[in-house]
Structure formats: structure tokens, C-alpha cells
Amino acid sequence: MLDDLLIRNRQWSAQRNADEPGYFARLATRQSPEFFWIGCSDSRVPANVVAGLDPGEVFVHRNVANVVHSSDMNLLSALEFAVDALHIREIIVCGHYGCGGVRAATEDLPHGLADHWLEPIRRLARAYAVDLARCENMDELRDRLAELNVLEGVRRVSETPILQRAWADGEPIRVHGLIYGLKDGLLRDLDCTVAHGDVMNGKMTVYGRE
């Protein structure tokens, strides 16, 4: 298995150099990504691939169910580096339909450490119980909850001292919420972008539903 991986890597490297001589030499000197991507660890949702971006074009942080914990030093360190060192001005929180983490959060089963990690999603499910009750089945409910989780992530990123400080300094940073469809390969804008001077209301809406 590992040997196959290394062979594919060499093939990819050789093909890339053939298509664009000097590519890796140039890439090694610096990175200047336009986007900071906070996404799910799901192997079916690799940021570069689904967004059609090359190496060096997106700075990525991933975790189970793309949860934004206000105490997650890993995420916060990456966010600070993206904003202060890489001067990225477009931040994306991206979830996906059919998310296993969201599914686990809605199951009455023990999942070990994941139970603590997924607690913010459970809180969302309780807070939006009336909205979620409109869903016709559990798959629809979980996909709706995945959308709400993205909006909550946008809110939490926007409320970090890192973003508040950057906006106070006049930095034109925007935080976007996207959701990816495993069944069609499409990214959808949840229309919840927060920019300098914006304030998110107490109610979150997705596709016009509160």
C-alpha cells in the first residue's frame, strides 16, 4: 500500500514538472494562498480537489465535522497564521451533506472522545429543534444540521479576537459558509458571509428558513 502511494507520488511529481517545468522550485520559495479553509476531515472532501485549487492556493485546517471550538488552539493557531502571516482575506468554513460527524452527534450511542468534540452540534440540534422538526426524515434533518453547523462556525470564527482585531485594524477579511454535496460534487454558498462592519443576528437563517 505504501509503495503504491510513493509510486503515485513520483508519477504525479514527474507529470507536474513535465507540464510546468520549474513548478516545484517556484512553489518551494513561498506560499501565497488566497483562502483559509476550515473543513471536515472526511476523505471525500479534500479542499484543493473540490475547489479546483493547486498546491499553494489554499491554507487548510480540517477536523471531524468542521467544528469551530473557541478553545481549539490548533484551529486558532492556524487562523492567526493565516490572517497575520499569510495575510489571507477570504476565510471559508465548509461542511458537507452526509457528514459522519453530524450523524454521530444525532445518535444515542457512545462515541468516545468524539462525544465531547461533537457537543456543539448537539447544542445546535437542541437550539433549533423546532426548525429541525420540519424535516421529513433523518437524512434531511442531518443535512440541515450540517448547514447550521457551518453557520455556527462562521459566527464563532467571526467572534474570535483574531478576527475582531484584524477588522479593527481595517483588514478587508470576509468569512464565508459553504456546504459540499457528496452526491453531485458541488459547493453551495449558504449566504452567511461576514465582513468588516457586519454583525450576525441572534437568529441564523439558511435558504430563507429561520
Q: Which is catalytic among the residues 61, 94, 99, 176?
A: 99
What pLDDT score does 209 carry? 43
Domains of the chain and any CATH numbers:
1-30 (no CATH), 33-195 (3.40.1050.10)
Per the annotation, the verdict on 192 as an active-site residue is: no
Q: Which residues are annotated as a binding site?
A: 40, 42, 96, 99
Tens digit of each residue's pLDDT, the chain (210 residues): 999 999 999 999 999 999 999 999 999 998 999 999 999 999 999 999 999 999 999 999 999 999 999 999 999 999 999 999 999 999 999 999 999 999 999 998 777 888 999 999 999 999 999 999 999 999 999 999 999 999 999 999 999 999 999 999 999 999 999 999 999 999 999 999 999 867 554 434 444 444
Per the annotation, the verdict on 135 as an active-site residue is: no
What's the sign of the alpha-carbon dihedral 206, 58, 196, 155? positive
Q: Which is catalytic among the residues 10, 44, 87, 116?
A: 44
Q: Which residues are annotated as a binding site for Zn(2+)?
A: 40, 42, 96, 99
3-state secondary structure of 92: strand
Per the annotation, the verdict on 143 as an active-site residue is: no
Per the annotation, the verdict on 108 as an active-site residue is: no
Residue 48 · residue 58 · CB < 8 Å: yes
Residue 167 · residue 194 · CB < 8 Å: no
Is the pTM value of this prediction over 0.85?
yes
Q: Which is catalytic among the residues 61, 94, 96, 155?
A: 96
Per the annotation, the verdict on 44 as an active-site residue is: yes
Paired sense of beta strands 90-96 and 58-63, if any: unpaired
